[in-house]
Structure 1
Protein backbone atom coordinates (compact mmCIF):
# COMPACT_ATOMS: atom_id res chain seq x y z
CA UNK A 1 0.00 0.00 0.00
CA UNK A 2 2.87 2.33 0.86
CA UNK A 3 4.52 1.69 -2.51
CA UNK A 4 1.28 2.42 -4.34
CA UNK A 5 0.82 5.64 -2.41
CA UNK A 6 4.35 6.76 -3.26
CA UNK A 7 3.67 6.10 -6.93
CA UNK A 8 0.47 8.16 -6.78
CA UNK A 9 2.28 11.02 -5.03
CA UNK A 10 5.11 10.86 -7.60
CA UNK A 11 2.60 10.94 -10.46
CA UNK A 12 0.84 13.95 -8.94
CA UNK A 13 4.13 15.81 -8.46
CA UNK A 14 5.23 15.06 -12.02
CA UNK A 15 1.83 16.17 -13.34
CA UNK A 16 1.93 19.44 -11.38
CA UNK A 17 5.43 20.26 -12.54
CA UNK A 18 4.52 19.33 -16.13
CA UNK A 19 1.56 21.71 -16.07
CA UNK A 20 3.71 24.44 -14.54
CA UNK A 21 6.44 23.92 -17.15
CA UNK A 22 3.87 23.97 -19.98
CA UNK A 23 2.44 27.22 -18.61
CA UNK A 24 5.88 28.84 -18.40
CA UNK A 25 6.68 27.79 -21.96
CA UNK A 26 3.33 28.71 -23.53
CA UNK A 27 2.55 31.91 -21.63
CA UNK A 28 5.03 34.18 -23.53
CA UNK A 29 3.87 33.24 -27.06
CA UNK A 30 0.23 33.35 -25.90
CA UNK A 31 0.69 36.85 -24.51
CA UNK A 32 2.53 37.87 -27.69
CA UNK A 33 -0.50 36.85 -29.75
CA UNK A 34 -2.94 38.55 -27.35
CA UNK A 35 -0.89 41.76 -27.57
CA UNK A 36 -1.02 41.63 -31.36
CA UNK A 37 -4.84 41.68 -31.46
CA UNK A 38 -5.48 43.99 -28.48
CA UNK A 39 -6.00 47.75 -28.46
CA UNK A 40 -3.17 49.89 -27.12
CA UNK A 41 -5.39 51.02 -24.24
CA UNK A 42 -5.86 47.38 -23.19
CA UNK A 43 -2.10 46.83 -23.22
CA UNK A 44 -1.46 49.91 -21.06
CA UNK A 45 -4.34 49.38 -18.66
CA UNK A 46 -3.59 48.84 -14.96
CA UNK A 47 -4.47 46.28 -13.73
CA UNK A 48 -3.56 44.30 -16.81
CA UNK A 49 -6.41 42.94 -18.93
CA UNK A 50 -5.54 39.47 -20.21
CA UNK A 51 -8.49 39.21 -22.60
CA UNK A 52 -8.90 42.28 -24.86
CA UNK A 53 -12.29 43.95 -25.05
CA UNK A 54 -12.22 44.46 -28.83
CA UNK A 55 -9.81 42.00 -30.44
CA UNK A 56 -8.85 42.96 -33.96
CA UNK A 57 -6.69 41.46 -36.70
CA UNK A 58 -6.28 44.83 -38.42
CA UNK A 59 -2.52 44.87 -37.79
CA UNK A 60 -2.12 41.53 -39.56
CA UNK A 61 -4.26 42.78 -42.45
CA UNK A 62 -2.20 45.96 -42.70
CA UNK A 63 1.09 44.05 -42.83
CA UNK A 64 -0.01 41.24 -45.14
CA UNK A 65 -2.42 43.04 -47.48
CA UNK A 66 -2.15 46.81 -46.84
CA UNK A 67 -0.42 49.41 -48.97
CA UNK A 68 0.68 51.80 -46.22
CA UNK A 69 3.93 51.98 -44.26
CA UNK A 70 3.14 48.61 -42.66
CA UNK A 71 3.41 46.96 -46.08
CA UNK A 72 7.19 47.39 -45.93
CA UNK A 73 7.20 44.56 -43.39
CA UNK A 74 6.25 42.15 -46.20
CA UNK A 75 9.36 43.13 -48.11
CA UNK A 76 11.45 42.74 -44.97
CA UNK A 77 10.00 39.28 -44.32
CA UNK A 78 10.97 38.32 -47.87
CA UNK A 79 14.49 39.65 -47.18
CA UNK A 80 14.81 37.48 -44.08
CA UNK A 81 13.56 34.40 -45.91
CA UNK A 82 15.93 35.06 -48.83
CA UNK A 83 18.96 35.55 -46.57
CA UNK A 84 18.19 32.63 -44.24
CA UNK A 85 17.55 30.24 -47.14
CA UNK A 86 20.76 31.05 -48.98
CA UNK A 87 22.81 30.99 -45.78
CA UNK A 88 21.39 27.60 -44.84
CA UNK A 89 22.11 26.09 -48.25
CA UNK A 90 25.67 27.47 -48.36
CA UNK A 91 26.50 26.44 -44.78
CA UNK A 92 25.09 22.92 -45.07
CA UNK A 93 26.72 22.32 -48.47
CA UNK A 94 30.18 23.50 -47.35
CA UNK A 95 29.87 22.27 -43.77
CA UNK A 96 28.89 18.70 -44.69
CA UNK A 97 31.85 18.28 -47.04
CA UNK A 98 34.30 19.78 -44.53
CA UNK A 99 32.83 17.81 -41.63
CA UNK A 100 33.21 14.54 -43.53
CA UNK A 101 36.83 15.37 -44.27
CA UNK A 102 37.54 16.17 -40.60
CA UNK A 103 35.76 13.01 -39.49
CA UNK A 104 37.31 10.49 -41.89
CA UNK A 105 40.51 11.87 -43.39
CA UNK A 106 43.88 12.16 -41.70
CA UNK A 107 46.02 15.21 -42.39
CA UNK A 108 48.51 17.30 -40.41
CA UNK A 109 47.04 19.91 -38.07
CA UNK A 110 43.48 18.59 -38.24
CA UNK A 111 42.75 19.14 -34.55
CA UNK A 112 44.31 22.60 -34.61
CA UNK A 113 42.20 23.65 -37.55
CA UNK A 114 39.08 22.40 -35.78
CA UNK A 115 39.87 24.48 -32.70
CA UNK A 116 40.59 27.52 -34.86
CA UNK A 117 37.17 27.09 -36.46
CA UNK A 118 35.57 26.81 -33.03
CA UNK A 119 37.41 29.93 -31.88
CA UNK A 120 36.22 31.89 -34.91
CA UNK A 121 32.63 30.89 -34.17
CA UNK A 122 32.98 32.01 -30.55
CA UNK A 123 34.17 35.51 -31.46
CA UNK A 124 31.55 38.10 -30.43
CA UNK A 125 30.12 40.02 -33.40
CA UNK A 126 31.02 43.34 -31.82
CA UNK A 127 34.71 42.41 -32.10
CA UNK A 128 34.57 42.13 -35.90
CA UNK A 129 31.74 44.47 -36.90
CA UNK A 130 33.96 47.53 -37.56
CA UNK A 131 36.33 45.71 -39.97
CA UNK A 132 33.31 44.13 -41.65
CA UNK A 133 31.64 47.51 -42.06
CA UNK A 134 34.79 49.05 -43.54
CA UNK A 135 35.30 46.11 -45.89
CA UNK A 136 31.74 46.15 -47.25
CA UNK A 137 31.83 49.92 -47.49
CA UNK A 138 34.93 49.71 -49.72
CA UNK A 139 33.23 47.00 -51.79
CA UNK A 140 30.02 49.11 -52.13
CA UNK A 141 28.05 46.28 -50.54
CA UNK A 142 26.54 48.05 -47.55
CA UNK A 143 22.77 47.72 -47.27
CA UNK A 144 22.65 44.59 -49.44
CA UNK A 145 21.32 41.12 -48.73
CA UNK A 146 24.45 39.60 -50.26
CA UNK A 147 26.61 41.17 -47.53
CA UNK A 148 24.47 39.55 -44.86
CA UNK A 149 24.65 36.19 -46.65
CA UNK A 150 28.46 36.33 -46.77
CA UNK A 151 28.83 37.31 -43.10
CA UNK A 152 26.30 34.82 -41.77
CA UNK A 153 27.78 32.02 -43.85
CA UNK A 154 31.28 32.76 -42.58
CA UNK A 155 30.01 32.70 -38.99
CA UNK A 156 27.83 29.59 -39.25
CA UNK A 157 30.01 27.28 -41.36
CA UNK A 158 32.25 26.41 -38.35
CA UNK A 159 29.13 25.62 -36.31
CA UNK A 160 27.82 23.31 -39.04
CA UNK A 161 31.22 21.60 -39.34
CA UNK A 162 31.34 20.86 -35.61
CA UNK A 163 27.79 19.53 -35.50
CA UNK A 164 28.08 17.34 -38.59
CA UNK A 165 31.54 16.08 -37.70
CA UNK A 166 30.13 14.83 -34.38
CA UNK A 167 27.30 13.12 -36.23
CA UNK A 168 29.59 11.50 -38.82
CA UNK A 169 31.71 10.09 -35.99
CA UNK A 170 28.68 8.04 -34.85
CA UNK A 171 28.39 6.23 -38.20
CA UNK A 172 30.31 2.91 -38.29
CA UNK A 173 33.31 2.93 -40.60
CA UNK A 174 32.47 -0.63 -41.70
CA UNK A 175 29.80 0.79 -44.01
CA UNK A 176 32.39 2.93 -45.77
CA UNK A 177 34.85 0.07 -45.97
CA UNK A 178 32.19 -2.04 -47.69
CA UNK A 179 31.51 0.79 -50.14
CA UNK A 180 35.22 1.18 -50.91
CA UNK A 181 35.51 -2.55 -51.57
CA UNK A 182 32.79 -2.07 -54.17
CA UNK A 183 34.94 0.62 -55.80
CA UNK A 184 33.43 3.84 -54.38
CA UNK A 185 35.61 6.91 -53.93
CA UNK A 186 35.39 9.15 -50.86
CA UNK A 187 32.81 11.41 -52.55
CA UNK A 188 30.77 8.49 -53.85
CA UNK A 189 30.78 6.95 -50.38
CA UNK A 190 29.68 10.27 -48.90
CA UNK A 191 26.76 10.80 -51.29
CA UNK A 192 25.60 7.19 -51.63
CA UNK A 193 26.12 5.85 -48.11
CA UNK A 194 26.86 8.52 -45.49
CA UNK A 195 24.41 11.27 -46.46
CA UNK A 196 21.31 9.03 -46.55
CA UNK A 197 22.21 7.75 -43.10
CA UNK A 198 22.93 11.28 -41.88
CA UNK A 199 19.62 12.81 -42.97
CA UNK A 200 18.35 13.37 -39.39
CA UNK A 201 21.57 15.14 -38.42
CA UNK A 202 21.57 17.22 -41.60
CA UNK A 203 17.98 18.34 -41.03
CA UNK A 204 18.70 19.26 -37.40
CA UNK A 205 21.79 21.23 -38.46
CA UNK A 206 19.84 22.86 -41.27
CA UNK A 207 17.19 24.06 -38.84
CA UNK A 208 19.76 25.48 -36.44
CA UNK A 209 21.53 27.33 -39.27
CA UNK A 210 18.21 28.70 -40.53
CA UNK A 211 17.14 29.89 -37.07
CA UNK A 212 20.48 31.55 -36.34
CA UNK A 213 20.44 33.52 -39.58
CA UNK A 214 16.70 34.24 -39.30
CA UNK A 215 16.93 35.81 -35.83
CA UNK A 216 20.33 37.57 -36.02
CA UNK A 217 19.99 41.25 -35.08
CA UNK A 218 23.24 43.07 -34.38
CA UNK A 219 25.06 42.57 -37.69
CA UNK A 220 21.90 43.27 -39.70
CA UNK A 221 21.35 46.46 -37.70
CA UNK A 222 24.82 47.78 -38.58
CA UNK A 223 25.07 46.65 -42.21
CA UNK A 224 21.55 47.54 -43.41
CA UNK A 225 19.62 50.81 -43.44
CA UNK A 226 16.66 50.50 -45.84
CA UNK A 227 13.80 48.03 -46.37
CA UNK A 228 15.67 46.72 -49.42
CA UNK A 229 18.00 44.73 -47.13
CA UNK A 230 16.67 44.94 -43.56
CA UNK A 231 15.63 41.76 -41.80
CA UNK A 232 12.77 41.06 -39.41
CA UNK A 233 14.60 41.58 -36.07
CA UNK A 234 15.71 45.05 -37.18
CA UNK A 235 12.21 45.94 -38.40
CA UNK A 236 10.62 44.83 -35.13
CA UNK A 237 13.10 46.90 -33.12
CA UNK A 238 12.20 49.99 -35.19
CA UNK A 239 8.62 49.88 -33.91
CA UNK A 240 10.17 51.30 -30.73
CA UNK A 241 10.81 55.02 -31.26
CA UNK A 242 12.34 57.75 -29.14
CA UNK A 243 9.01 59.07 -27.87
CA UNK A 244 6.63 56.15 -28.33
CA UNK A 245 6.53 52.37 -28.62
CA UNK A 246 4.03 50.56 -30.81
CA UNK A 247 3.57 47.48 -28.66
CA UNK A 248 0.86 46.07 -30.91
CA UNK A 249 2.95 46.18 -34.08
CA UNK A 250 5.97 44.77 -32.24
CA UNK A 251 3.85 41.85 -31.08
CA UNK A 252 2.37 41.34 -34.55
CA UNK A 253 5.82 41.34 -36.10
CA UNK A 254 6.99 38.88 -33.45
CA UNK A 255 4.14 36.48 -34.20
CA UNK A 256 4.76 36.61 -37.94
CA UNK A 257 8.50 36.19 -37.44
CA UNK A 258 7.96 33.07 -35.32
CA UNK A 259 5.73 31.28 -37.85
CA UNK A 260 8.35 30.01 -40.39
CA UNK A 261 10.64 28.44 -37.74
CA UNK A 262 7.63 26.85 -36.03
CA UNK A 263 6.33 25.36 -39.28
CA UNK A 264 9.79 24.06 -40.19
CA UNK A 265 10.25 22.52 -36.75
CA UNK A 266 6.84 20.80 -36.91
CA UNK A 267 7.40 19.53 -40.44
CA UNK A 268 10.86 18.10 -39.70
CA UNK A 269 10.16 17.11 -36.10
CA UNK A 270 10.99 13.43 -36.61
CA UNK A 271 14.34 14.17 -38.24
CA UNK A 272 15.27 16.84 -35.70
CA UNK A 273 14.72 14.57 -32.71
CA UNK A 274 16.55 11.70 -34.40
CA UNK A 275 19.46 13.94 -35.33
CA UNK A 276 19.85 15.36 -31.85
CA UNK A 277 19.66 11.97 -30.17
CA UNK A 278 21.98 10.24 -32.63
CA UNK A 279 24.53 13.03 -32.54
CA UNK A 280 24.57 13.08 -28.76
CA UNK A 281 25.67 9.44 -28.35
CA UNK A 282 28.85 8.19 -29.92
CA UNK A 283 29.03 4.49 -30.62
Structure 2
Protein backbone atom coordinates (compact mmCIF):
# COMPACT_ATOMS: atom_id res chain seq x y z
CA UNK A 1 0.00 0.00 0.00
CA UNK A 2 2.80 2.43 0.88
CA UNK A 3 4.59 1.61 -2.38
CA UNK A 4 1.44 2.29 -4.39
CA UNK A 5 0.94 5.57 -2.53
CA UNK A 6 4.53 6.56 -3.23
CA UNK A 7 4.20 6.00 -6.99
CA UNK A 8 0.83 7.79 -7.04
CA UNK A 9 2.25 10.85 -5.29
CA UNK A 10 5.33 10.78 -7.53
CA UNK A 11 3.17 10.59 -10.65
CA UNK A 12 0.98 13.48 -9.56
CA UNK A 13 4.05 15.54 -8.65
CA UNK A 14 5.65 14.99 -12.06
CA UNK A 15 2.35 15.78 -13.75
CA UNK A 16 1.95 19.04 -11.84
CA UNK A 17 5.53 20.10 -12.58
CA UNK A 18 4.97 19.28 -16.24
CA UNK A 19 1.80 21.40 -16.43
CA UNK A 20 3.17 24.47 -14.62
CA UNK A 21 4.41 26.18 -17.85
CA UNK A 22 0.98 25.72 -19.45
CA UNK A 23 -0.69 27.24 -16.39
CA UNK A 24 1.64 30.23 -16.80
CA UNK A 25 0.56 30.59 -20.45
CA UNK A 26 -3.12 30.46 -19.45
CA UNK A 27 -2.61 33.07 -16.73
CA UNK A 28 -0.73 35.31 -19.16
CA UNK A 29 -3.52 34.99 -21.73
CA UNK A 30 -6.40 35.64 -19.35
CA UNK A 31 -5.06 38.41 -17.09
CA UNK A 32 -4.25 42.09 -17.74
CA UNK A 33 -0.59 42.98 -18.14
CA UNK A 34 -0.41 45.04 -14.92
CA UNK A 35 -1.37 41.94 -12.89
CA UNK A 36 1.54 39.96 -14.35
CA UNK A 37 4.34 42.40 -13.53
CA UNK A 38 5.06 40.60 -10.22
CA UNK A 39 4.62 37.16 -11.75
CA UNK A 40 1.59 35.22 -12.96
CA UNK A 41 1.58 33.33 -9.65
CA UNK A 42 0.79 36.54 -7.75
CA UNK A 43 -2.97 36.72 -7.08
CA UNK A 44 -3.17 39.92 -5.02
CA UNK A 45 -5.51 41.14 -7.75
CA UNK A 46 -7.23 38.77 -10.15
CA UNK A 47 -9.45 40.04 -12.96
CA UNK A 48 -9.62 37.43 -15.75
CA UNK A 49 -10.60 38.62 -19.22
CA UNK A 50 -11.08 37.12 -22.69
CA UNK A 51 -10.08 40.28 -24.53
CA UNK A 52 -6.75 38.79 -25.62
CA UNK A 53 -8.53 35.89 -27.32
CA UNK A 54 -10.85 38.26 -29.17
CA UNK A 55 -7.88 40.39 -30.23
CA UNK A 56 -6.02 37.33 -31.50
CA UNK A 57 -8.97 36.09 -33.53
CA UNK A 58 -9.51 39.54 -35.07
CA UNK A 59 -5.90 40.72 -35.33
CA UNK A 60 -5.70 43.43 -38.04
CA UNK A 61 -2.61 42.04 -39.81
CA UNK A 62 -2.56 38.36 -38.77
CA UNK A 63 -6.14 37.32 -38.09
CA UNK A 64 -6.07 33.97 -36.33
CA UNK A 65 -9.66 33.33 -37.39
CA UNK A 66 -8.57 33.28 -41.04
CA UNK A 67 -5.42 31.36 -40.17
CA UNK A 68 -7.37 28.57 -38.46
CA UNK A 69 -9.70 28.33 -41.45
CA UNK A 70 -6.69 28.08 -43.77
CA UNK A 71 -5.20 25.38 -41.55
CA UNK A 72 -8.40 23.35 -41.80
CA UNK A 73 -8.22 23.55 -45.60
CA UNK A 74 -4.83 21.83 -45.38
CA UNK A 75 -5.23 19.53 -42.40
CA UNK A 76 -8.40 17.69 -43.42
CA UNK A 77 -7.21 16.31 -46.80
CA UNK A 78 -3.65 15.94 -45.48
CA UNK A 79 -5.04 13.66 -42.77
CA UNK A 80 -7.63 11.64 -44.68
CA UNK A 81 -5.60 10.94 -47.84
CA UNK A 82 -2.52 9.41 -46.15
CA UNK A 83 -4.76 7.58 -43.68
CA UNK A 84 -6.72 5.89 -46.47
CA UNK A 85 -3.69 5.05 -48.60
CA UNK A 86 -1.45 3.94 -45.72
CA UNK A 87 -4.17 1.78 -44.15
CA UNK A 88 -4.50 -0.20 -47.38
CA UNK A 89 -0.72 -0.35 -47.73
CA UNK A 90 -0.31 -1.56 -44.15
CA UNK A 91 -2.87 -4.30 -44.73
CA UNK A 92 -1.05 -5.35 -47.88
CA UNK A 93 2.28 -5.60 -46.07
CA UNK A 94 0.73 -7.66 -43.28
CA UNK A 95 -1.26 -10.13 -45.39
CA UNK A 96 0.22 -10.53 -48.87
CA UNK A 97 3.51 -11.84 -50.16
CA UNK A 98 4.90 -10.08 -53.20
CA UNK A 99 8.35 -9.45 -54.71
CA UNK A 100 10.62 -7.10 -52.74
CA UNK A 101 8.14 -6.86 -49.87
CA UNK A 102 10.87 -6.80 -47.24
CA UNK A 103 12.90 -4.27 -49.22
CA UNK A 104 9.94 -1.94 -49.66
CA UNK A 105 9.02 -2.19 -46.00
CA UNK A 106 12.63 -1.43 -45.06
CA UNK A 107 12.43 1.71 -47.21
CA UNK A 108 9.26 2.70 -45.35
CA UNK A 109 11.02 2.27 -42.00
CA UNK A 110 14.10 4.19 -43.17
CA UNK A 111 11.99 7.18 -44.25
CA UNK A 112 10.72 7.45 -40.68
CA UNK A 113 14.18 8.56 -39.59
CA UNK A 114 14.59 11.15 -42.36
CA UNK A 115 14.70 14.70 -40.93
CA UNK A 116 12.66 17.28 -42.80
CA UNK A 117 15.50 19.78 -42.70
CA UNK A 118 17.69 17.53 -44.86
CA UNK A 119 15.24 17.59 -47.79
CA UNK A 120 13.77 21.06 -47.40
CA UNK A 121 15.59 22.41 -50.47
CA UNK A 122 14.64 19.47 -52.75
CA UNK A 123 11.02 19.76 -51.58
CA UNK A 124 10.94 23.44 -52.45
CA UNK A 125 12.61 22.86 -55.82
CA UNK A 126 10.18 20.06 -56.70
CA UNK A 127 7.12 22.08 -55.68
CA UNK A 128 8.48 25.09 -57.59
CA UNK A 129 8.97 22.93 -60.69
CA UNK A 130 5.35 21.74 -60.37
CA UNK A 131 4.16 25.34 -59.84
CA UNK A 132 2.77 24.35 -56.44
CA UNK A 133 4.70 26.79 -54.25
CA UNK A 134 2.37 29.06 -52.28
CA UNK A 135 -0.56 26.71 -52.90
CA UNK A 136 -2.44 24.59 -50.41
CA UNK A 137 -2.31 21.65 -52.83
CA UNK A 138 1.48 21.59 -52.69
CA UNK A 139 1.48 21.58 -48.89
CA UNK A 140 -1.21 18.87 -48.82
CA UNK A 141 0.86 16.68 -51.15
CA UNK A 142 3.98 17.08 -48.99
CA UNK A 143 2.12 16.28 -45.77
CA UNK A 144 0.44 13.30 -47.44
CA UNK A 145 3.78 11.95 -48.65
CA UNK A 146 5.30 12.51 -45.20
CA UNK A 147 2.43 10.81 -43.39
CA UNK A 148 2.11 7.68 -45.52
CA UNK A 149 5.31 5.91 -44.29
CA UNK A 150 4.68 6.17 -40.54
CA UNK A 151 0.97 5.37 -40.86
CA UNK A 152 1.83 2.36 -43.05
CA UNK A 153 4.27 1.14 -40.42
CA UNK A 154 1.75 1.76 -37.65
CA UNK A 155 -1.17 0.05 -39.40
CA UNK A 156 0.94 -2.89 -40.57
CA UNK A 157 1.90 -3.62 -36.96
CA UNK A 158 -1.74 -3.41 -35.91
CA UNK A 159 -2.97 -5.71 -38.68
CA UNK A 160 -0.45 -8.38 -37.73
CA UNK A 161 -2.25 -8.71 -34.37
CA UNK A 162 -5.66 -9.38 -35.98
CA UNK A 163 -6.35 -13.14 -36.34
CA UNK A 164 -6.77 -14.33 -39.93
CA UNK A 165 -9.51 -16.84 -39.09
CA UNK A 166 -12.40 -14.48 -39.90
CA UNK A 167 -10.81 -13.42 -43.17
CA UNK A 168 -10.22 -17.03 -44.22
CA UNK A 169 -13.81 -17.95 -43.36
CA UNK A 170 -15.12 -15.05 -45.44
CA UNK A 171 -12.85 -16.03 -48.33
CA UNK A 172 -14.22 -19.58 -48.22
CA UNK A 173 -17.74 -18.11 -48.41
CA UNK A 174 -16.74 -16.35 -51.62
CA UNK A 175 -15.94 -12.86 -50.36
CA UNK A 176 -13.39 -10.92 -52.41
CA UNK A 177 -10.29 -9.33 -50.92
CA UNK A 178 -11.89 -5.87 -51.22
CA UNK A 179 -15.04 -7.04 -49.42
CA UNK A 180 -12.97 -8.65 -46.67
CA UNK A 181 -10.94 -5.50 -46.17
CA UNK A 182 -13.82 -3.02 -46.04
CA UNK A 183 -16.44 -5.12 -44.24
CA UNK A 184 -14.36 -7.27 -41.87
CA UNK A 185 -10.87 -5.88 -41.35
CA UNK A 186 -11.59 -2.15 -41.43
CA UNK A 187 -14.21 -2.17 -38.64
CA UNK A 188 -11.79 -4.11 -36.40
CA UNK A 189 -9.05 -1.58 -37.17
CA UNK A 190 -11.02 1.48 -35.98
CA UNK A 191 -8.92 1.89 -32.79
CA UNK A 192 -5.70 2.05 -34.80
CA UNK A 193 -7.29 4.32 -37.41
CA UNK A 194 -8.47 6.65 -34.66
CA UNK A 195 -4.97 6.76 -33.20
CA UNK A 196 -3.36 7.46 -36.57
CA UNK A 197 -5.97 10.12 -37.35
CA UNK A 198 -5.33 11.96 -34.08
CA UNK A 199 -1.55 11.87 -34.51
CA UNK A 200 -1.54 12.91 -38.18
CA UNK A 201 -4.10 15.65 -37.56
CA UNK A 202 -2.04 17.03 -34.67
CA UNK A 203 1.17 16.89 -36.68
CA UNK A 204 -0.25 18.70 -39.74
CA UNK A 205 -2.13 21.27 -37.65
CA UNK A 206 0.94 22.08 -35.56
CA UNK A 207 3.36 22.17 -38.50
CA UNK A 208 5.34 25.35 -38.98
CA UNK A 209 8.45 24.27 -40.90
CA UNK A 210 6.85 22.94 -44.09
CA UNK A 211 4.29 25.75 -44.14
CA UNK A 212 7.11 28.28 -43.80
CA UNK A 213 8.81 26.79 -46.87
CA UNK A 214 5.78 26.58 -49.14
CA UNK A 215 3.23 29.22 -48.08
CA UNK A 216 4.07 32.93 -48.03
CA UNK A 217 1.09 34.97 -49.31
CA UNK A 218 -0.35 36.97 -46.38
CA UNK A 219 -3.93 35.83 -47.01
CA UNK A 220 -2.88 32.16 -47.23
CA UNK A 221 -0.80 31.94 -44.05
CA UNK A 222 -1.77 29.14 -41.67
CA UNK A 223 -2.52 29.58 -37.98
CA UNK A 224 0.97 28.63 -36.81
CA UNK A 225 2.52 31.13 -39.23
CA UNK A 226 0.39 34.01 -37.97
CA UNK A 227 1.34 33.81 -34.29
CA UNK A 228 4.91 35.19 -34.78
CA UNK A 229 3.47 38.04 -36.87
CA UNK A 230 1.54 39.28 -33.83
CA UNK A 231 4.77 40.50 -32.24
CA UNK A 232 5.16 44.25 -32.35
CA UNK A 233 8.33 45.96 -33.55
CA UNK A 234 8.94 47.78 -30.27
CA UNK A 235 6.60 45.93 -27.93
CA UNK A 236 5.68 42.27 -27.44
CA UNK A 237 2.17 41.66 -26.17
CA UNK A 238 2.68 38.36 -24.35
CA UNK A 239 -1.00 38.13 -23.47
CA UNK A 240 -1.92 38.27 -27.15
CA UNK A 241 0.71 35.69 -28.11
CA UNK A 242 -0.30 33.37 -25.27
CA UNK A 243 -3.98 33.53 -26.15
CA UNK A 244 -3.17 32.84 -29.82
CA UNK A 245 -1.08 29.83 -28.84
CA UNK A 246 -3.91 28.47 -26.70
CA UNK A 247 -6.45 28.90 -29.50
CA UNK A 248 -4.20 26.96 -31.86
CA UNK A 249 -3.69 24.22 -29.26
CA UNK A 250 -7.40 23.82 -28.56
CA UNK A 251 -8.17 22.17 -31.91
CA UNK A 252 -5.81 19.15 -31.68
CA UNK A 253 -6.66 18.77 -27.99
CA UNK A 254 -10.35 18.61 -28.90
CA UNK A 255 -9.61 15.99 -31.58
CA UNK A 256 -7.68 13.94 -29.05
CA UNK A 257 -10.49 14.13 -26.50
CA UNK A 258 -13.04 13.04 -29.10
CA UNK A 259 -10.88 10.09 -30.17
CA UNK A 260 -9.37 9.32 -26.77
CA UNK A 261 -11.06 5.93 -26.45
CA UNK A 262 -9.82 4.81 -29.87
CA UNK A 263 -6.45 6.49 -29.41
CA UNK A 264 -5.57 4.59 -26.23
CA UNK A 265 -6.80 1.24 -27.58
CA UNK A 266 -4.96 1.73 -30.84
CA UNK A 267 -1.69 2.76 -29.21
CA UNK A 268 -1.50 -0.12 -26.75
CA UNK A 269 -3.50 -2.80 -28.57
CA UNK A 270 -0.83 -4.05 -30.95
CA UNK A 271 2.09 -3.27 -28.64
CA UNK A 272 0.84 -5.65 -25.93
CA UNK A 273 0.39 -8.65 -28.21
Does the TM-score normalized on the shorter chain lie above 0.5?
yes
Secondary structure of the equivalent of 2:220? coil
Query: Does 2:94 align with 1:94?
Result: no
In the TM superposition, residue 111 of structure 1 has moved relative to its aligned partner by 1.2
Distance in 2 (alpha carbons) for counterparts of 1:24 and 1:67:
33
Q: How does 1:146-225 map to 2 (within 5 A)?
A: 146-225=137-216
Q: Tell me, which stretches of 5 or more residues in structure 2 are unaligned?
A: none
Structure 2 match to 1:36: 29
Contact 1:96 1:160 in 2 (8 A): yes
Q: Deviations over 1:56-76 (max 9, x none)?
A: 211212234x47335x21111
1:6-25 CA-to-partner distances (Å, cap 9, x unmatched) read x2x32442332132123123
Superimposed CA distance per residue, residues 213-267 of structure 1 (whole angstroms, 9 cap, x where no aligned partner): 1111111112111343322222223334665433222211111111111111111
Equivalent residue in structure 1 for 2:248, among 257, 263, 279: 257
Which has the higher mean CA deviation after the structures are superposed, 100-109 or 137-146? Answer: 137-146
Counterpart Cα distance in 1 of 2:195 and 2:42: 36
CA deviations on 1:37-84 (whole Å, 9 max, x unpaired) are 2233444x25554446443211212234x47335x2111111112211
Deviation (angstroms), 1:122 = 2.0
- Compare 214-223 and 119-128 and name the one that shifted more: 119-128
Assess, with a 3 A threshold, how the Cα gap between structure 1 residues 236 and 200 changes in structure 2: closer, same or farther.
Answer: same
Matched, 1:129 2:129: no
Q: 1:49 to 1:278 in 2, by over 3 A?
A: closer
Once residues 178 and 127 of structure 1 are traced to their aligned partners in structure 2, the CA distance between those partners, rounded to angstroms, is 47
- CA apart distance, 1:191: 0.5
How far is the alpha carbon of 1:31 from its aligned partner?
Answer: 1.7
**Would the aligned equivalents of 2:82 and 2:148 in 1 still touch at CA under 8 Å?**
yes
Compute the TM-score of the two structures, normalised by the length of structure 1: 0.88
Partner of residue 117, structure 1: 108
Map 1:260-271 onto structure 2 (within 5 A).
260-271=251-262
* 1:132-147 alignment runs, 5 A limit: 132-147=123-138
Please say if residues 75 and 227 of structure 1, whose CA atoms lie closer than 8 Å, have aligned partners that are also in contact.
no
Give the match for residue 3 of structure 1.
none
Q: TM-score, normalised by structure 2?
A: 0.91
Larger mean Cα displacement after TM superposition, 80-89 or 12-21: 12-21
Secondary structure of the corresponding residue to residue 281 of structure 1: coil
Q: Which whole-Å CA distance do the structure 1 matches of 2:142 and 2:150 have between them?
A: 14
How many matched pairs? 272
Deviations 1:171-214 (A, max 9, x none): 00111101101111111110011001111111001111111111
* CA RMSD of superposed structures (Å): 2.0
Structure 1 counterpart of 2:53, from 44, 60, 69: 60
Runs of 4+ in 1 over 6 A off after TM superposition: none
Larger displacement relative to structure 2 (213-222 or 238-247): 238-247
Q: Give the aligned partner of residue 225 of structure 2.
A: 234
Look up the SS of the partner of 2:99 in the other structure: coil
Asked if 2 retains the 8 angstrom alpha-carbon contact of 1:95 and 1:161, the reply is yes
